[in-house]
Amino acid sequence: MSWRTWGGREWSKRSLRARLVAGFAVVMALVLVAAGTFVYWRVAFAFDRRLNTDLVDTAATIGTLLEPTTTGSNSYAPKR
């Protein structure tokens, strides 16, 4: 089946209105897919960056709250 006979009739025999509507629909579908992909990628990138920043900040906060104990063991005790 050729793209020219897709749908049972040759595209050149369809009305100009039908061809314009079909072409516009295809172009709009491609634009919407491209825009959706771009927005998804940007949101995922921003989420990952924010998550990494929050994890680094939390690790730094926890690290300052803990100090090695004076008993010589490897355990940590909260700083008071």
Record the pTM.
Answer: 0.57
Indicate the domain borders of the chain: 3-68
Q: pLDDT tens digits, residue range 13-64?
A: 888 899 999 999 999 999 999 999 999 999 999 999 999 999 999 988 888 8
| Closest listed residue to residue 7, CA positions, set 22, 27, 25 | 22
Q: pLDDT tens digits, residue range 44-57?
A: 999 999 999 999 99
Element (H, E) at 66: strand 66-68
